[in-house]
Every structure is written in C-alpha cells, then in structure tokens.
Amino acid sequence: MARDPAPSDSHTKAETVAEVSEFDLIGQLTKGRPRPAGTLLGPGDDAAILAAADGRVVATTDVLTEGVHFRLDWSTPEQVGRKAAAVNLADLAAMGARPTALLVGIGCPGSTKVDLLRELTTGIWQEALNVDAGLAGGDLVSAAQLVISVTALGDLQGREPVTRAGAQPGDVVAVSGRFGWAAAGLAVLGRGFRSPVAVVNAQRWPEPPYAAGPQAAEAGATAMIDVSDGLLADLGHIAKASSVAIDVQAGQVEVHQRLVDVGSALGVDPLHWVLTGGEDHGLAATFPEHGAVPEGWALIGSVGRGQGVTVDGGPYEGPGGWEHWR
C-alpha cells in the first residue's frame, strides 16, 4: 500500500491510474460527492445499503465498452459517464420505478489518466443526481480497454411493475422521449461532421424521459419498454412478451424538423431513424385506451390479436434493430 512519491501539483493532471494507489484513486473519485437520502451507507465499506421502503427493489445492469458503445474521440469522458448512467436509469423508468442508486464497476488500462476517470464519474454523478439518485458503490480494476458496468436500483413506490408482458388487444401504443436522434447523430459523426450539435449530442448521451415511466405506471400502462434497440425492435419485444400484434401508424410518428433537415443533407429518410434507431432510450408503452395516455406521451399505434410489429398494416422494409457482434 506504499504510495509512490507524490508528484508536484503541477503534474497531477497528467497522472495515470498506474501512478496512484487504488485506495487513493477511489478516494479521489468519491471525495466530496453528495449522499442522496436513499443511500443509507455510501461507498467505502464492503457493500452499500440503500433504502427499499417498498419492500422490493428494481435492479438492472448494463455494460458499456469503448469502441462499441462509445468513442472517446467523439464524446468527452463526462458524456460517456452520463450515457452509462442514463441507459440504466432508463431501464428503471421503463418498469415504472424511481431510481435510488447506482453501483459502478470500471475496468481500464493502467495508462488511463486519473482525470479521465474523474470526468467519467462526474458524468455518472450528474446524471444520477438529476433523478435524486447517488453513486453508492463501485469497483475499479485493470482491463485491456475502458469498460463501464453500471447497476441501477430503484423503487416502485408501492405500484405494480409495468413489464413487457401486459399489452392486450385493443390497447393503444404511445411513446415519450426522443426517437431517431442518436441514429441521426451517428450518421453525422460517421461522415466526419460535428454538427448539427443537437443530434450529435443525442448520440453522445441520451436524455431519457425518466419521469414519464412512473407517470405511465400511475396512468395504468399495461406494458412498457426502454427503447434501446430501436422503436420497432423494442415494440417487437412487447408484442412477443404479451403475445399480441402491434401496428404503428407512420403518419402519427413525429419526425422532428431537425431530423428532416439532417435526413435531407445526408440523403436518408429520417422516418427510418425514428423507427429503427436505437440509443435514444425513449419509452414505449401500451395503455388500455386513448384517454389513459398521459400528457407528454404521443399516440403512435394500436395493439391487436396476432404477433409481430407492422407499420401501417404491413411489414416494415429496412434493417432491424442493433445487435452486437454483427
């Protein structure tokens, strides 16, 4: 546990994780962070303790790897941290839960700058504090590439969870949040552009409609999903889990003017981004009737008997959702 001679302050910025002790490093990353009310025991012991007043805890985990889920030449470490937190927090929202806390495992090479990890964890903290959650615990290990594993814990506040399996024929389909923005941003970045900044930033980190999840649960949503793979692909998961068919009315699906503009510039139909683009982490849900759809949600389709997802009653032509290793 000996520490190398402390570098002068002027060199601190250039320190790599290999140059500081594990305990110092964890101290640097956790020092001075707030502790939200739900975190009964914060980082620093063998485990954290979180409030679970509901008698149940909602838990989800997602792993992000450099080069697959983010690129440090496209995003700042803080943006990557926000994204790592957001993709998990969105999963909680999709169950109708309110986030309580995050646990974060980070693997990185010894050559990683301490500053990078500090900015990364700052991004995670910022996103968590947006929803009154904290970073309650973590682990930091040596790895060949930067890997960020986040587990998010949440509270159902006495409500039943909204799973993927409750959609019924006759239900309506509605969405909240952004769709197609991250895909448009990826197309822009992939061609070497850095603007329009709104769609590029949407690729760097999502802005899930966290409050819309519990809101939909309160309103009686019968099924809900976090749209990470693409709207049609994720509606397909609801259709499969609920043993129903879902039809999307293309004319009801909002295509934001910014996406129209980017589509024109790149020669791509922006509706394709909206229907198949992943990584925006909007929410899609089914409700028993039009009248149940809360404010902030937009009606886009209907649930019927059968299976699969159609657009305007027919199969959608085009590539499907994102799959790893393909």
Q: Which of residues 29-68 bind its own copies (CB under 8 A)?
A: 40-41, 44-65, 67-68
Cβ nearer to its own copies, comparing 161 with 196? 161
Q: Which of 110, 169, 296, 306 lies at the binding interface for its own copies (CB under 8 A)?
A: 110
Q: Restricting to residues 4-33, which ones interact with its own copies according to CB under 8 A? A: 17-18, 21-22
In the list 91, 127, 247, 280, the residue contacting its own copies (rule: CB under 8 A) is 91
State which of residues 133, 172, 199, 225 lies at the interface with its own copies (CB under 8 A): 225
- Candidates 126, 142, 157, 307: give the one binding its own copies (CB under 8 A): 142
164 binding its own copies? (CB under 8 A) = yes
Q: Is 124 in the site for its own copies (CB under 8 A)?
A: no
Q: In the sheet that 308-311 helps form, which strands lie side by side, from edge to edge?
A: 223-227, 282-287, 172-176, 298-304, 245-248, 308-311
Per the DSSP assignment, residues forming a β-bridge with 314 are 311
Smallest distance from its own copies to CB 253, Å:
20
C-alpha–C-alpha distance, residues 108 and 98, integer Å: 30
User: What is the per-residue DSSP string for 110-155?
Assistant: TTSBHHHHHHHHHHHHHHHHHTT-EEEEEEEEE-SS-EEEEEEEEE
Contact between 318 and 231 under an 8 Å Cβ cutoff? The reply is no
Stretch touching its own copies by CB under 8 A, among 102-110, 194-202, 203-211, 297-305: 102-110
Whichever of 50 and 274 has its CB closer to its own copies, that residue is 50
Q: With beta carbons less than 8 A apart as the criterion, state whether 36 and 73 touch.
A: no
Which residue, 160 or 289, is less far from its own copies as judged by CB? 160
Using CA atoms, how far apart are residues 219 and 207, in angstroms rounded to an integer? 22
- 76 contributes a contact to its own copies by CB under 8 A: no
What minimum distance in Å lies between the beta carbon of 85 and its own copies? 14
One residue of 72, 129, 140, 260 binding its own copies per CB under 8 A: 140
Q: Is 317 in the site for its own copies (CB under 8 A)?
A: no
Is omega for the bond preceding 196 within 30 degrees of 0, making it cis?
A: yes
> Considering only residues 42, 77, 123, 138, which one is a binding residue for its own copies as defined by CB under 8 A?
138
Secondary element (H or E) of residue 89: helix 77-94
d(CA 61, CA 43): 18
Segment 276 to 315, residues that bind its own copies, using CB under 8 A: none
Question: Considering only residues 75, 79, 121, 151, which one is a binding residue for its own copies as defined by CB under 8 A?
Answer: 151
Question: Do residues 224 and 162 make contact, with C-beta atoms less than 8 angstroms apart?
Answer: yes
| 298 vs 253: CA distance, rounded Å | 8
**DSSP 3-state assignment of 309?**
strand
68 or 211: CB nearest its own copies: 68
Distance CA 197, CA 13 (A): 28
176 is a site residue for its own copies (CB under 8 A): no
**Count of residues of this chain found to bind its own copies when the rule CB under 8 A is applied:** 78
- Looking at beta carbons only, is 125 or 259 nearer to its own copies? 125
